[in-house]
Structure 1
Amino acid sequence: MLTPLVSVLLLLGLLITLFGAVRRVRLWRQGKPFAVNVWAGLSNIPRRYLGDLHNVVAREKATAHMHVATAGGFVAAMVMLSIIYLLGINSGAMYLLALIACMVMLLGAQLVAGRRRSAPAHLSTGPWVRLPKSLKVFAGTFLLVSIFGLLGIDNLPSILLVLLGVAMIAGMGEMLLGMTWGGPMKHAFAGALHLAFHPRPERFGGGQSTGLRPLDLTEPHLGVDKPTDFHWNQLLGFDACVQCGRCEKACPAFAAGQPLNPKKLIQDMVVGMTGSSTASYHGSVHPGQEPQLGEKAVCGGPERSLFEGLLDPDTVWSCTTCRACVEECPMMIEHVDAIVDLRRYLTLEQGATPGKGPDMLENLIATDNPNGHPPQQRNNWAVDLHIPLLADVKQVDVLLWVGDGAFDMRNQRTLRALVTLLQRAKVDFAVLGNEELDCGDLARRLGDEATFQRLARANINTLSKYRFKRIVTADPHAFHLLKNEYPDFTGNYSVYHHTQLLAELVAQESLKLEPVRDLSVTYHDPCYLGRYNGGYEPPRSLLRAIGIEIKEMERSGYRSRCCGGGGGAPVTDITGKRRIPDMRMDDVRETGAEIVVVACPQCSLMLEGVVEPRPEVRDIAELLLEALPQQTRYLQAAEEEAS
């Protein structure tokens, strides 16, 4: 009898899957507590899956169609089969719907097989190669079962019943048991719950959540050394990895031949969590690196240090914190949070910051800036610009946050250009002068949370003495911290990047510009302005306002390649085959542009560090300065000469 066989096997498969789910949840719950609203989270799964997750998947149209057919067909088939064989509602319409669902899934399985036949290098192999076959076995078997049901055929020859039973067991073994016991389909179960209990629920529905969370410095153990140091829903997120390799493809450090592969990093976390000596990762590796998991058995354990034979510290220090991996991840995994947590342990517990890191952190402690410049020289760049000090005026519309560009001659040009533009637009602004301290970005990204919190609190204490409507800065890193991370320490401000304010002034006609001479220009999106804060349009609107048609790089906007200057990467200086800024300059050269416009002091320094001949590097404020009307420029020159 076919019906009893299907009912028994389906029920048995679901029960074993449920038992595996309990086991899997217990693995995740070994992590640190993290409060979630269980029912609200579960109810949000459909919306987050169909909306946020598929918005990322749909960036690759063929993959999106494949995923909709396979996942949608499987879910629909399981629902219909459960109704028919477990609830006993077995009308012809039900069998027909089950048949259609299996056909859709079979089509999706064929698309999966086609993708695997010409798999790109970033797509994982190993057990993933057999996935199309498993999908076809499941879909094909229950397609046949649905046909028999639709035709009213229940009595089958014993040999056919045996064959169908074996096929059902094989199909359900990968599709159901694999969801909770381990295998390629594990991402479906963990991924759904990851959407429900995400560490950053603010990301869903079009929101942004990119600020690092504060570390409680009173805890006896700081940072992450072993899997149980992560929050439990971070462990859940690692388990949701589908090993699609989009993060690997986007990572500038991996492309430069450095030790970091974000996909492998996440799988290392899974191995550490499960303690499994049977690895599940098969992917790209640079020559000379250690063999990937799957080629070499690696034992982990939830209470064992991740740095004991599983994770090389250089992997963690290679990251530029550009969030390209996070932006590309369809499962919305937070790679950067995990990396900074690991860095916090290495820096605060082990004192193992590499390269020039220890010197920079000592300078921050001694002089409140990473390069050890005398603090009293912070305002020297502006001595002839007659900028009011906030300490003198007490109240102002705009506080100009200068940042550490004040100590660098290259970036002083940008600041001077910005000041001139603000003065010509008659903006009421002032600076803190020597009262301004480093914002703490470098310390925090290097894992020195203690130094960051000291700097943040000191700056917030200074700002509390004055009144201003908003803060403006030309440094996206300072912009991000002041806007998104200082609020955790009671520093709540309206913060603008200089391109945002300048775009507003141009739109209001407070700042009048003229078209510049014909220029061949491309624009480089800073990571901390773009991916971290969605600031893609204001810089482009400014360039259009002065008559420039941008020659966009292939990797621009949310897919912009990092310059290599974030996350303390220039400080830790992990070697690779190439330099990240050299690769970015190659992107620039491909456009044929003579000028690459930037909007970040780090980007200026990194790209100007590329060996010439190369396109000229200009900050957007410097370019706008050239677009001031001739009369204004003559007045400016006369005023500077008189002063």
Structure 2
Amino acid sequence: MLETLLPILIFSALGLAVIGAWRRIRLWRQGRPSPVPILKGLAAMPRRYLVDLHHVVGRDKVMSNTHVATAGGFVLAAVLMILVHGLGLAQGVLGWALLVASAIMFVGSLFVARRRRNPPARLSKGPWMRLPKSLMAFSLSVFLITLPTVGVLPADFGSWILAVALAAVVTWGLGEMFFGMTWGGPMKHAFAGALHLAFHRRAERFGGGRSTGLKALNLDDPKVSLGVETPSDFTWNQLLGFDACVQCGRCEAVCPAFAAGQPLNPKKLIQDMVVGMTGGSDANYAGSPYPDKPVGEHHGDPHGPIVAREGKALVDAETLWSCTTCRACVEECPMMIEHVDAIVDMRRFLTLEHGNTPNKGAEVLDNLIATDNPGGFEPGSRMHWAADLNLPVMRDVKQADVLLWLGDGAFDMRNQRTLRALIKVLRGAGVDFAVLGNEERDSGDVARRLGDEATFQSLAKRNIATLSQYRFQRIVTCDPHSFHVLKNEYGELGGNYEVFHHSTYIAELYEAGRLHFAPWKGGKVTYHDPCYLGRYNGEYEAPRNVLRALGIEVAEMARSGFRSRCCGGGGGAPITDIPGKQRIPDMRMNDVKETGAELVAVGCPQCTAMLEGVVDATAEIRDIAELVADALVPESEARAQPTGEARIAIKEVAS
């Protein structure tokens, strides 16, 4: 009986899966066009899955091994099952291979079941709770029906009652594994996720690459939508990416806004976009909600507004404005979904079409338009703080080895101390540098993150025109936000430069023997990774190597490196100022307190401002440039050369 039933069940399930796949693809194709190399993407998919995706999954070794066993066993078992039981090709090793594959899958499913026995809060429940049983049903039933095929059991094994029972279990497993992949269910991520890797909108992320710059809007094309108003305004491969979400909650666990009790949960946001793509409400969502936001009251459809001006839609505007754009969610996502791109796309519509930027947002954008800086300061006063420094200005010298980009910290008294320290370091190393002076404008970072693409492009194009008048080898800045924009986002507009964060450049100067330091005599020090230097640009070691060169042994916080907690200062968050249950910088200073450090070394003016704003802080905040400037000694007075190990470490970073 099984010999008759199995081919029917298998090919029926495959047929329904194909129909579901066509239906699913039509849902994605509601989005705007996005040119991707189809064949090249499909050819690259296996490597992207086995290497790039598992590089992220592998951070949790237990789940990585579980995923290899379960997913790998399923793919192999599914193919072999079609050959052995669907087409009757049981000769040779195929049947035995199917036994091994299904056994491996069953072992993996046991670990999935253990994880689901008492799941952490970040994991979505609901339909996901049946996944271990479905995996077991498929793997165990395939194993049992294959035993007679390879001769381990008699060909007429069992009665017709057992055959019917096994067929029922096989149907359950097939339904979840094949039918569920394309029609909806816990296995939906397998189909959508594989194609998402093939047609990812940031193909540069794969193969060890990095792609973090926001994509420019073509403001000269009247047909181009100014941001995203409805789910169908996303590109089709963005919708595909949303559908790939496995609801693991890794993004939720690292989101600073969610931890602070602000109305944002990146996992819920992605699921809301899926609801909008398919139509309906969020009533069936079985994960953590937005803090203090009930589930079941929001609804949408592919062509309806995501954010309603009145009444309920898919999400509330304050959810989008809670994001600090720290990119922690993107860094942790095993499906490589681009949450930040989606949030900024939706902000663009709110800002450019509705002028709906909360709190001080509109004032800051008006200041950028009128005065070229977010604080509304007189543009001609940009260099007043440096009146006694006799800084070389590009307008006068025309060329220099280094262009020092001051950033809008030039208007801030606290950051002026950092700039003075950096200038002292550059002069101590004999660097040929100059500044733009009053010709420098805001880099446009805050305008772009607030969704004002027009103001960003206006500022960027004027800065590019100014820079084109002068000759320099590299740009150095102590602001990671300006560093990121100049390095990664000006290129689309015609500005391609070699840009260094000041910590990286100081590391290079030290390695070249142009800087000498007195031994560190202070207390315990920890280091805070700026999001736009670390997660956005992959620079983690240069600042630490500079601190080691000073004789400082860094006491690392529990969340450091690529998992560093955001200070709360990025993405215009201090400007939009969405309230939560606690402040993000307060949480970060609690991280500092746990290390017992007396001093926090930072490398970003935003981080300095946010962390120094914590009322009951137990540690002093100082920029790396200030620590280096204080430790500088002339070469003639240098007591001894640094250890070979220190110089080798710095050299590796510089190279």
Q: Does TM-score exceed 0.5, indicating one fold? A: yes
Query: What is residue 235 of structure 1 aligned with on the other side?
Result: 239
User: Paired residue for 1:194, among 178, 193, 196?
Assistant: 196
Query: What is residue 326 of structure 2 aligned with on the other side?
Result: 322
| CA distances 1:211-243 after superposition (whole Å, capped 9, x unpaired) | 000012233531001011000000000000000
2:90–2:150 Cα contact (<8 Å) kept: no
1:276–1:299 Cα contact (<8 Å) kept: yes
> 1:609 deviation in Å?
0.2
Query: What is residue 185 of structure 1 aligned with on the other side?
Result: 187
Distance in 2 (alpha carbons) for counterparts of 1:285 and 1:577: 15
Query: What is residue 407 of structure 1 aligned with on the other side?
Result: 411
Query: What is residue 113 of structure 2 aligned with on the other side?
Result: 113
Query: What is residue 349 of structure 1 aligned with on the other side?
Result: 353
Q: Which shifted more, 140-149 or 317-326? A: 140-149
Task: Tell me, yes or no, if structure 1 residue 513 matches structure 2 residue 556.
Answer: no
Task: Tell me, yes or no, if structure 1 residue 576 matches structure 2 residue 580.
Answer: yes
Task: Tell me, yes or no, if structure 1 residue 563 matches structure 2 residue 567.
Answer: yes
Where do residues 258-273 of structure 1 align in structure 2 (5 Å cutoff)? 258-273=262-277
1:516–1:626 Cα contact (<8 Å) kept: no
Distance in 1 (alpha carbons) for counterparts of 2:636 and 2:28: 64
Query: What is residue 641 of structure 1 aligned with on the other side?
Result: none
Distance in 2 (alpha carbons) for counterparts of 1:11 and 1:280: 31
Distance in 2 (alpha carbons) for counterparts of 1:50 and 1:129: 26
Seen in structure 2, the aligned counterparts of structure 1 residues 298 and 209 have a Cα distance that, compared at 3 Å, is: same
Seen in structure 2, the aligned counterparts of structure 1 residues 250 and 23 have a Cα distance that, compared at 3 Å, is: same
Distance in 2 (alpha carbons) for counterparts of 1:184 and 1:595: 47
User: Paired residue for 2:540, among 512, 523, 536?
Assistant: 536
Query: What is residue 475 of structure 2 aligned with on the other side?
Result: 471
Percent identity over the alignment is 62
User: Paired residue for 1:275, among 255, 274, 279?
Assistant: 279
Give the aligned residue type for 1:100.
V
Query: What is residue 492 of structure 2 aligned with on the other side?
Result: 488
Seen in structure 2, the aligned counterparts of structure 1 residues 279 and 178 have a Cα distance that, compared at 3 Å, is: farther
Query: What is residue 457 of structure 1 aligned with on the other side?
Result: 461
Query: What is residue 208 of structure 1 aligned with on the other side?
Result: 210
Query: What is residue 646 of structure 2 aligned with on the other side?
Result: none
Distance in 2 (alpha carbons) for counterparts of 1:175 and 1:131: 10
Give the aligned residue type for 1:162.
V
Distance in 1 (alpha carbons) for counterparts of 2:282 and 2:5: 33
Distance in 2 (alpha carbons) for counterparts of 1:316 and 1:288: 15
Task: Tell me, yes or no, if structure 1 residue 551 matches structure 2 residue 558.
Answer: no
2:447–2:453 Cα contact (<8 Å) kept: yes
Task: Tell me, yes or no, if structure 1 residue 47 matches structure 2 residue 43.
Answer: no
Q: Which shifted more, 563-572 or 610-619? A: 610-619
Query: What is residue 649 of structure 2 aligned with on the other side?
Result: none
Distance in 2 (alpha carbons) for counterparts of 1:93 and 1:460: 65
1:92–1:150 Cα contact (<8 Å) kept: no
Q: Which shifted more, 213-222 or 185-194? A: 213-222
Give the aligned residue type for 1:91.
Q
> 1:8 deviation in Å?
1.2
> 1:158 deviation in Å?
2.1
Task: Tell me, yes or no, if structure 1 residue 598 matches structure 2 residue 602.
Answer: yes
Structure 2 counterpart SS, 1:206: coil
Give the aligned residue type for 1:24.
R
Where do residues 213-232 of structure 1 align in structure 2 (5 Å cutoff)? 213-217=215-219, 218-220=221-223, 221-232=225-236
| CA distances 1:250-283 after superposition (whole Å, capped 9, x unpaired) | 1000000000100000000000000134755311
Seen in structure 2, the aligned counterparts of structure 1 residues 305 and 481 have a Cα distance that, compared at 3 Å, is: same
Structure 1 counterpart SS, 2:32: coil
Task: Tell me, yes or no, if structure 1 residue 123 matches structure 2 residue 123.
Answer: yes
Q: Which shifted more, 564-573 or 309-318? A: 309-318
Structure 2 unpaired stretches of 5+: 639-655
Where do residues 69-88 of structure 1 align in structure 2 (5 Å cutoff)? 69-88=69-88
1:98–1:143 Cα contact (<8 Å) kept: yes
Give the aligned residue type for 2:203.
P
Structure 1 counterpart SS, 2:258: helix
2:264–2:290 Cα contact (<8 Å) kept: no
Structure 2 counterpart SS, 1:44: helix
| CA distances 1:552-608 after superposition (whole Å, capped 9, x unpaired) | 001000000000000000000000000000000000000000000000000000000
Distance in 1 (alpha carbons) for counterparts of 2:369 and 2:470: 25
Distance in 2 (alpha carbons) for counterparts of 1:529 and 1:275: 39
> 1:632 deviation in Å?
8.6
1:2–1:154 Cα contact (<8 Å) kept: no
Query: What is residue 433 of structure 2 aligned with on the other side?
Result: 429
Distance in 2 (alpha carbons) for counterparts of 1:171 and 1:40: 33
Distance in 1 (alpha carbons) for counterparts of 2:160 and 2:282: 38
Distance in 2 (alpha carbons) for counterparts of 1:276 and 1:175: 25
2:122–2:248 Cα contact (<8 Å) kept: yes
Q: Which shifted more, 543-552 or 145-154? A: 145-154
Query: What is residue 58 of structure 1 aligned with on the other side?
Result: 58
Where do residues 349-428 of structure 1 align in structure 2 (5 Å cutoff)? 349-428=353-432
Distance in 1 (alpha carbons) for counterparts of 2:474 and 2:341: 28
| CA distances 1:426-474 after superposition (whole Å, capped 9, x unpaired) | 0000000000000000000000000000000000000010000000000
Query: What is residue 628 of structure 2 aligned with on the other side?
Result: 624
Distance in 2 (alpha carbons) for counterparts of 1:233 and 1:613: 45
Q: Which shifted more, 508-517 or 563-572? A: 508-517
2:7–2:87 Cα contact (<8 Å) kept: no
Structure 1 counterpart SS, 2:490: helix
Seen in structure 2, the aligned counterparts of structure 1 residues 394 and 287 have a Cα distance that, compared at 3 Å, is: closer
> 1:150 deviation in Å?
1.8
Distance in 1 (alpha carbons) for counterparts of 2:154 and 2:12: 23
Structure 1 counterpart SS, 2:275: helix
Give the aligned residue type for 1:321.
T
Structure 1 counterpart SS, 2:403: strand
> 1:518 deviation in Å?
3.8
Seen in structure 2, the aligned counterparts of structure 1 residues 298 and 15 have a Cα distance that, compared at 3 Å, is: farther
Distance in 2 (alpha carbons) for counterparts of 1:83 and 1:280: 38
> 1:13 deviation in Å?
0.5
* C-alpha RMSD of the superposition: 1.5
> 1:163 deviation in Å?
1.1
Seen in structure 2, the aligned counterparts of structure 1 residues 526 and 287 have a Cα distance that, compared at 3 Å, is: closer
> 1:298 deviation in Å?
4.7
Distance in 2 (alpha carbons) for counterparts of 1:630 and 1:501: 19
Q: What's the TM-score once normalised by structure 1's chain length?
A: 0.96
Structure 2 counterpart SS, 1:496: strand
Give the aligned residue type for 1:568.
G
Q: What's the TM-score once normalised by structure 2's chain length?
A: 0.94
Seen in structure 2, the aligned counterparts of structure 1 residues 436 and 278 have a Cα distance that, compared at 3 Å, is: closer
Distance in 2 (alpha carbons) for counterparts of 1:410 and 1:278: 46
> 1:162 deviation in Å?
1.4
2:2–2:167 Cα contact (<8 Å) kept: no
| CA distances 1:13-71 after superposition (whole Å, capped 9, x unpaired) | 11110110011001101100011111110111110001000000010111111111110
Seen in structure 2, the aligned counterparts of structure 1 residues 481 and 264 have a Cα distance that, compared at 3 Å, is: same
> 1:299 deviation in Å?
3.7
| CA distances 1:398-447 after superposition (whole Å, capped 9, x unpaired) | 00000000000000000000000000100000000000000000000000
1:252–1:580 Cα contact (<8 Å) kept: yes
Distance in 2 (alpha carbons) for counterparts of 1:575 and 1:537: 34
Structure 1 unpaired stretches of 5+: 635-643
Seen in structure 2, the aligned counterparts of structure 1 residues 425 and 134 have a Cα distance that, compared at 3 Å, is: same
> 1:508 deviation in Å?
0.2
2:281–2:300 Cα contact (<8 Å) kept: yes
Aligned residues: 630
